[in-house]
Structure 1
Amino acid sequence: MAKRGGYPGLVFGGKRDDGRLVMKPRYSFLLLSILTAIYAAWPSAAQASSFAYVSLDGENKIVVYALNDEDGSLIRKSETELEGSAGALCTSPDRRFLFASVRSAGKLAAFRISPDDGKLIHINTVTAGVNPAYVAPDQTGRHLLTAYYTEGKITSHAIDKNGRISAKATQELPTADKAHAIMTDRDNRFAYVPHTGPNTIFQFRFNEKSGRFTALKPARVNTGENTGPRQFALHPKLDVAYFDYEQGSAIAAFDVDRKSGRLTFRERLSTLPKSYLGKNSNARIEITPDGRFLYVANRGHNSLAGFAADPKTGTLKGIGITPTETVPRGFNIDPTGRFLYAAGQASGKLAAFRINRENGSLKRFATYELGERPWWLLVVKTD
């Protein structure tokens, strides 16, 4: 009679001369099939096409996670050391290159993304300015735009076809205290720079050929006392820009004039429940790829405030506030719009959420250990 070994349900067919159990061929095939199925449930390095990049300010590194496109789960794959504290991240429009701000060193670093495993291959690092808070490519991918929190300025650096950042800035332009973000509009004709210090948003015309900025008239839009416009998201289809107010704990919608580039205030909604009386400051703001939902991180209340944008007008409506990790500085939505990942700066953990495609509600499905002081989070699909 066949003996049973240490694998329940698998029948072994006898012993070899050395006394070891031998599995019958058909059961050996069954075990191989089971193991193959388990392995296939998680994409191998060769199969993975989505990756999450997390900058760890407290460890001077960027950590790479492979993302399972089916269920949103993450597996830690590799890490890359930087010359100083890791800050903001962005990718080129074709997702071949990743750019990082090295905050404590005042530098900008360029990397090539390995499409097979997401690993970062260093290209070059350039000296740029004190505390680069935000980096973003223009729509062509030929210019890297940076906002500097401490120095109160913006720069534009050329990017060559191999992802290398130019050593010298194309343009360096003083703005005001605490410049916190910079991006061009979808037509690549205008750029906006919110400043938390003077409660203002600078607006520029952008020349995609030269990579240079020219101030619009008026050069800035004042948002009011104790607002602190910090970052913003642009609607992918409508002429609307959404800014989060760091001190004001709010989201504000602005109409964007396609011809002149000028911003006009439309509405403002709180990111906090009326019953909350504690301290709070907003951090990141994100919009889903289809433009239907927006989320703002509350640091203090430690939550993500959700909003639905009317598909025709972009007008906002609150859809709920979801608890997350402590001090959610950085979060990102995956390119499919199905998952949201939020990093807790104080907890060192990442909360993973599924986004309800019908109503925008968030449901937490996993928590991951990240490391010391996660600063920025970026999900990239390489295929």
Structure 2
Amino acid sequence: MRLILTLIAVGLVLGVLPARAADCVYVSDAKGSRILVFRQDSESGELTPAGEVATAGTPGSLCVDPERKYLFAALRSAKTIASYRIDPQSGELEHLSTTAAKEDPAYVATDRTGRWLLSAYYRAGQIAVHRLDDGGTISPEGMWTETADKAHAIVVDRSNRFLFVPHTGPEKIFQFRFDAQTGRVTPNDPPVVETEAGIGPRHIWFHPAKDVAFVSEEQGSSMGAYRFDPEAGTLSPLEGQHRHSTLPDGFSQRNSCSDIEVTPDGRYVYVGNRGHDSIAGFAFDDDGRISSLGTFATEQTPRSFNIDPSGRFLYAAGQGSGRLAAYRIDESSGALRRFATYKAGSTPWWVLVVHTEN
């Protein structure tokens, strides 16, 4: 023990200890054609600008592989998807590959093995699966599947056996079986979940432990809750708790929902309101009951937000203000308490928090 302490002391004096792994927040600045990098203080949640990387197109959706080595970006105006290596000490991004897509990719995500990159295409009405090699390069050959107009997101379940694609166009959630060995997707039975007219399912997020999925409903200004059958891989409305308004009583102005996320412990669900310009919060208790936490003011047009892996902080991008709002999540109540606001380019579209340390 004395030897270890001596080595640490010498390292501190000489400045030769290994650098601490990076906790970073990445923000797509759409009109700026760049991804902004912020270093995160893991204790306070405060951010420090740490650089940027230019992109060959308008960056939108961002995702990271399960081992947090590579970042993937949808470059919407260029109709491409790109991959970047994440420097584990600095958080800097190094471009690795760019692959042609179709129309503008609205959403990217990896499967749970990190071997496949999934993408959804809003205008093309399709989804794609691309193989990822061990170095984070995206295969140019994608496996394409037609769905319908306005495919808005693509997400696998916890088992990595089923895949779901909400559509704001036909107002359906497409359900697929997913083969993680081959990357092949096939329609499930039934192939779609029909939703009510005027709802517009946009994004979907699975509870980390329970067989429940939550959906942001763009046109309905609501949050939908679904029971998930883990054997069949299908969704059905959560009885008695299927739909919850994201707006306060009496609000009658135009609004549309954007993103949705669940805290890592599964206790709280948040949905973005564009128009009311707020984040709506819901509690989900051990008995499966859902209750409203109210709304929390945010920047203009919160297109995207992300909860950090510790579950203590939430960062929301204001597309209309060019600023990033930072909140602490109250562990006992789920309330969001804003503690800082940061400049985030001209048009921040997407937010992604990455802790590179395993």
Q: Which runs of 5+ in 1 are unaligned?
A: 1-35, 37-43
C-alpha distance in 2, partners of 1:311/1:95?
30
C-alpha distance in 1, partners of 2:246/2:67?
33
> Structure 1 vs Structure 2: percent identity of aligned residues?
49
C-alpha distance in 1, partners of 2:144/2:287?
38
C-alpha distance in 2, partners of 1:47/1:261?
41
Out of 283, 289, 294, the residue aligned to residue 269 of structure 2 is: 294
C-alpha distance in 2, partners of 1:259/1:328?
35
Contact 1:92 1:137 in 2 (8 A): yes
Contact 1:255 1:264 in 2 (8 A): yes
Q: C-alpha offsets along residues 301-348 of structure 1, whole Å, 9 cap, x if unaligned? A: 0000000012242x3110121000000001111100001111100000
Out of 305, 308, 314, the residue aligned to residue 280 of structure 2 is: 305
Q: Superposition pairs for residues 205-244 of structure 1, below 5 Å?
A: 205-244=177-216
1:342 alignment partner AA = A
Out of 228, 244, 254, the residue aligned to residue 279 of structure 1 is: 254
C-alpha distance in 2, partners of 1:48/1:354?
22
Computing the radius of gyration from Cα coordinates, the structure with the larger value is 1
Q: Report the counterpart of residue 308 of structure 2 in structure 1.
A: 334
Out of 338, 342, 349, the residue aligned to residue 368 of structure 1 is: 342
Measure how far apart 1:217 and its partner are.
1.4
Contact 2:106 2:153 in 1 (8 A): yes
1:67 paired to 2:43: no
1:317 paired to 2:285: no
Q: Report the counterpart of residue 104 of structure 1 in structure 2.
A: 77
Q: C-alpha offsets along residues 110-129 of structure 1, whole Å, 9 cap, x if unaligned? A: 01100011000111000011
Q: C-alpha offsets along residues 278-320 of structure 1, whole Å, 9 cap, x if unaligned? A: 000000001101111010000000000000012242x311012
Q: Report 1 or 2 for greater relative contact order, CA contacts < 8 Å, sequence distance ≥ 6.
A: 2
Measure how far apart 1:275 and its partner are.
1.2
C-alpha distance in 1, partners of 2:158/2:287?
18
1:58 paired to 2:52: no
What SS does structure 2 have at the residue aligned with 1:63?
strand
Q: Hey, which bits of structure 1, 4+ residues long, moved more than 4 A?
A: none
C-alpha distance in 2, partners of 1:377/1:113?
16
Q: C-alpha offsets along residues 232-288 of structure 1, whole Å, 9 cap, x if unaligned? A: 110000010100100000001101111111110111100001110100000000110
Q: Cα–Cα, structure 1 residues 45 and 180, in superposed 2: closer, same or farther, change >3 Å?
A: farther
Q: Report the counterpart of residue 81 of structure 1 in structure 2.
A: 54
C-alpha distance in 2, partners of 1:333/1:184?
19
Q: Which runs of 5+ in 2 are unaligned?
A: 1-11
Q: C-alpha offsets along residues 1-51 of structure 1, whole Å, 9 cap, x if unaligned? A: xxxxxxxxxxxxxxxxxxxxxxxxxxxxxxxxxxx9xxxxxxx99335210
1:193 alignment partner AA = V
How high is the TM-score relative to the length of structure 2?
Answer: 0.93
C-alpha distance in 1, partners of 2:345/2:148?
33
1:166 paired to 2:153: no
1:141 paired to 2:104: no
What SS does structure 2 have at the residue aligned with 1:329?
strand
1:211 alignment partner AA = G
How high is the TM-score relative to the length of structure 1?
Answer: 0.87
Q: Cα–Cα, structure 1 residues 254 and 45, in superposed 2: closer, same or farther, change >3 Å?
A: farther
Q: C-alpha offsets along residues 121-146 of structure 1, whole Å, 9 cap, x if unaligned? A: 11100001111000000010000000
C-alpha distance in 2, partners of 1:125/1:192?
25
